[in-house]
Amino acid sequence: MYEVLLTQLMDGRRKPGEPLNIGALSRELEVSQTPLREALARLEHSGLVQREALRGYFVAPVFTKREMTKLAAARELIEPAIAAESALRRTPEFLADLAVTIDELSRSGVSADTDSDAFRLYWTSDARFHNLIAAQADNLFLEGAFHALSGHVQRFRLFMKAGHAYAGQAADEHQGILDALASGDPSAAAEAMLSHVRAASERALVKHDGEEV
């Protein structure tokens, strides 16, 4: 159920602020309430879903500018360190898997704004790229810190709803990270990741400011 609800959220079928009534969801999805409660609890932990007394669960609102800035600051501390560790532990298989995600990211961006399947490929390939790097670092504590943020990063991706231009920029940045990882230079890998996180944050802030006008 977690994957079902996550996909619905990322596809935009559940809107920010929309109530997530367990009884209604149980009838709609034809499942018992127990797996739904477990899935909603996981989504709440990730930040994609929120819960309030008397109101119950609901889809998290869109990011505020302050939240985006704080998330970027946390990512800037964690993800470059992960990239540095991964550069030291690179393998041909790891690098090949990253290359596949970059190709998918590039292909998805052409119609990610208008096609739900393309947007799903966009966010899954982006997430897989970062997840692969986190796993390759082989550091339980760094990976735990990364996964503590991962749901919020998904919410960030949902806010962005990136189209061709953003997908192209992200793919180029991912390629730069891959090149640095392949070189085995931890400093270069950390710098490439830091540049990517900052660029993604800047794109989000520009989008946020544009939507406030």
Give per-residue pLDDT as tens, 148-182: 888 788 777 776 654 444 778 889 999 999 999 99
Region for 106 from its dihedrals, namely left if φ exceeds 0, alpha if ψ lies in -120 to 50, beta otherwise: alpha
The count of domains in the chain is: 2
Q: What pLDDT sits at residue 141?
A: 97
CATH code for position 82 = 1.20.120.530
Same domain, 94 and 45: no
Long-range CB contacts for residues 50-56, cutoff 8 Å, separation at least 24: 55/19, 56/19, 56/20, 56/21, 56/22
Q: What is the pLDDT of residue 209?
A: 61
What integer pLDDT is reported at residue 168 of this predicted model?
A: 81
What is the pLDDT, as a whole number, of residue 208? 64
Which residues are within 8 A (CB) of 21 and not within 5 positions of it... i.e. 6 or more apart?
Answer: 56, 57
Please indicate, yes or no, whether residues 111 and 51 belong to a single structural domain of this protein: no
Per-residue pLDDT tens over the stretch 45-63? 878 899 998 889 999 887 7
Range of the domain at 178: 65-212
Domain boundary among 28, 59, 90: 59
Q: In this structure, are 77 and 22 located in the same domain? A: no
Is residue 211 over pLDDT 80? Answer: no
Q: CATH number of the domain that 16 lies in?
A: 1.10.10.10
pLDDT tens per residue, range 121-155: 888 899 999 999 999 999 999 999 999 888 788 77
- Through-space distance between the first and last CA atoms of the chain, rounded to whole angstroms: 38
Indicate if 47 and 69 belong to the same structural domain: no
Tens digit of each residue's pLDDT (9 = 90 or more) over 80-135: 999 999 999 999 999 999 999 999 998 887 776 677 777 888 888 999 999 999 99
Token digits of residue 144: 């735990």
Residues 44 and 82 in one domain: no
Judgement on whether residues 139 and 42 belong to the same structural domain of the protein: no
Same domain, 94 and 177: yes
Tokens of 100: 């596949």
pLDDT exceeds cutoff 80 at 184: yes
Query: pTM to 2 decimals?
Result: 0.82
